Structure 1
């Protein structure tokens, strides 16, 4: 899906994603001391806004101008630099934290993006990456239905071959979601994500 298609999707509803941060981003980052962070492929900026509310100096990167405009409105006066750029090509420097949530692209693009974002961290800086796990296609609910856009934690670690990192978490994690049962009632279903947390050496 290209930027124009995402612009149309973001323009079609008040919010595509939730107003609050992703649950795994929140759990992994809440105790970190504020510094400089990037929210890569930020969408409407829910994670960037949450981080900035905790005192982080955040760069929010996405290729959809519509999403970024919505984020600016939601973020108000918080310390967020909204950058319209291709997340696969973006490169920063000296960051304390990088968060990436549900950036689902083919493997070659993912490899470029994760290598760039880890290279943007200072030594000791943290990456938290959350994505729909490959197993979600057959065992879970929601998410992309194209296997080429899915991944595992091991895939991401393989992408970083040759870059020295300290691994803190790399696993499949369960996320409970509410869904319509087709008869007007709400049921809970399980989605499977992969979660990687590491520090740059």
Structure 2
């Protein structure tokens, strides 16, 4: 699946690198984290990575797309690019002050994300909800329950105008 996924995302980013404004949930809550190491999961064009690097974080930006990661290479000294298939990637434990996961869902990563946060580390997670049990969509309250051992700062499920998913789940949590 790796080659198919890489080709799919490379084609998408060749045609459109997307919006360069950082995610609004990130701009609202990033300051809860100690400025240190950050992980941007499925970073795409790097919009959130750039934002965090400008705030002083050292960011590991991970994405499967060679086009997206190629766009990020050598653009900011605070961003370390990792071109990797997230379906097989392992996240090192106790490593990050902040983890950002926006518009990506791989349930296999949930326990690794939790373990990868340092004490008082912050998780900012936002992804789509599917009412049709779509494999790339969350179920209602799934995100909230997946990280229930963290201290939840903010959680919301709200309407979304995405063509395939009509709701979005947003979570901000701190590891105690």
TM-score by length of 1: 0.74
For structure 1, the 5+ residue unaligned runs are 105-109, 138-145, 178-190
Q: Distance in 2 between matches of 1:12 and 1:176?
A: 21
- For the pair shown, the structure with the greater C-alpha radius of gyration is 1
Partners of 1:116 and 1:193 lie apart in 2 by 22
| Offset of residue 2 of structure 1 | 1.0
Aligned to 1:10: 13
| Partner Cα distance (1:72, 1:21) in 2 | 18
Q: Which residue of 2 aligns with 1:181?
A: none
- 1:170 aligned partner: 155
Task: Kindly report structure 1 stretches of 4+ aligned residues shifted beyond 6 Å.
Answer: none
- Counterparts in 2 of 1:175 and 1:111: CA distance versus 1, 3 Å: closer
Q: Is the Cα contact below 8 Å between 1:68 and 1:84 reproduced in 2?
A: yes
1:126 equivalent in structure 2: 122
**Unaligned stretches of 5+ residues in structure 2:** none
Distance 1:48 1:153, change over 3 A: farther
C-alpha distance in 1 between matches for 2:64 and 2:173 = 25
Q: Identify which range, 76-85 or 86-95, moves more after superposition.
A: 86-95
| d(CA) in 1 for partners of 2:145, 2:78 | 34
Determine helix, strand or coil for the equivalent of 2:113: helix
Give RMSD over aligned pairs: 2.5
Deviation at 1:114, TM superposition (A): 1.9
The residue correspondences of 1:79-158 to structure 2 (distance < 5 A) are: 79-88=78-87, 89-92=89-92, 93-104=94-105, 110-134=106-130, 147-152=134-139, 154-158=141-145
Q: Residue 157 of structure 1 aligns to a residue in which SS?
A: helix
Superposition deviation, residue 176 in structure 1: 7.3
Count of matched residue positions in the alignment of Structure 1 and Structure 2: 169
